[in-house]
Amino acid sequence: MNAYLEILRPGNAVMAVIAIFLMIIISGNFTLGAFLAGFVVFVVTGAGNAINDYFDYKIDAINKPKRPIPSGRISRKTAGIYSISLFIIGIVVAFFISFLLGMIAFLSSLLMIYYAYDLKRKVLIGNLGISFLTGLCFVFGGIAVGEILNSVYLGFYAFLMTMAREIVKDMEDVEGDKEEGAKTLPIIYGMKTSSILAASFMIIASLTSPVLYFIGIFNILYLAVLFVAIVVFIIGAISILKDKSVENCAKVSKRIKIGMGITFLAFAVGSPFLASLF
């Protein structure tokens, strides 16, 4: 993969864009502004991933040596300029859509930079920050399509799932983070406490997410697909409680990502607009 694309972590950026397209599908509002909102989220999320690599080049040299900066495919200075340029592009396009979305993009960009520079090394604060930004993607899309209340509900569940994955990722990266002097949850409170908290977020999301059907946001198809995601999360929760090794943390992190993808699919197929097409 081209290094300039790889440093954006396009898989993660596309997951963020999916939040926008889900809000488009749920609302049935296929406007230019809505699609531009998807572009903004991709660019700003990618910029956030790049600036994270800029600040984490020492940790990545231990945990992720094949990433663009530690592997030498992109210089650290170039990565920094590239990231800031993308932030600016995303913010300008967001202001073109609306002033409110422009301000959200601007403040989110500042939070991403501060997260990469300092917040991610603080116990739970960094996890909360990135999880908040993930949930905010739904609200960003909801504002773009005029579906704000439902976007808050969806953003809440995205927050829960992301918190679980962020904690598991900290468990996976514990050795490199120790070398850098980071104060993450597994370093300060241990792997056992971290696994319990991560599993708790997965279980809470699993047990409460069906409520979106019962309050009338989604139809019965939502529950059918959601059941698969719940199974994935429960298996992940049990696994992380039993095995806290770095290798298993990497596997559980991937399972959570798959579970999130299935949940997003449930949001789509259970939406009234999509059901009306059939």
Q: Which two tokens stand for residue 57?
A: 């080049």
For residue 79, pLDDT over 80 is answered with: yes
For residue 276, pLDDT over 70 is answered with: no
Q: Give mean pLDDT, residues 159-173.
A: 92
Cα separation, 15 vs 52, whole angstroms: 17
**Digit-coded pLDDT (tens) for 241-264:** 999 988 899 999 999 999 999 998
Q: What is the pLDDT of residue 278?
A: 59
**Digit-coded pLDDT (tens) for 40-65:** 999 999 999 999 889 888 777 777 78
**Digit-coded pLDDT (tens) for 89-122:** 999 999 999 999 999 999 999 999 998 888 777 7
Q: Going by C-beta distance under 8 Å and a sequence separation of 6 or more, which residues neighbour residue 86?
A: 8, 43, 44, 46, 47, 50
Q: Going by C-beta distance under 8 Å and a sequence separation of 6 or more, which residues neighbour residue 252?
A: 168, 198, 236, 239, 240
Give, as one character, the DSSP assignment of residue 122. Answer: S
Give, as one character, the DSSP assignment of residue 65. Answer: T
Q: What are the phi and psi torsion angles at 252 (to 5°)?
A: -65, -40
Over the chain, what is the mean pLDDT? Answer: 90
Q: What is the pLDDT of residue 122?
A: 76
Cα separation, 131 vs 263, whole angstroms: 16
CB-hemisphere CA count at 13 Å for 178?
A: 10
Cα-Cα-Cα-Cα dihedral sign, residues 18, 23, 28, 30: negative
Q: What is the pLDDT of residue 183?
A: 80
Please give, one letter per residue, the 3-state secondary structure of 133-175: HHHHHHHHHHHHHCCHHHHHHHHHHHHHHHHHHHHHHHHHCHH
Q: What is the pLDDT of residue 175?
A: 79
Q: Which two tokens stand for residue 243?
A: 């095995």
pTM given for the model:
0.86
Q: Could you tell me the residue range of the domain that residue 79 belongs to?
A: 3-276
Structural domain total, the chain: 1
Q: What is the pLDDT of residue 56?
A: 83
Cα separation, 235 vs 231, whole angstroms: 6
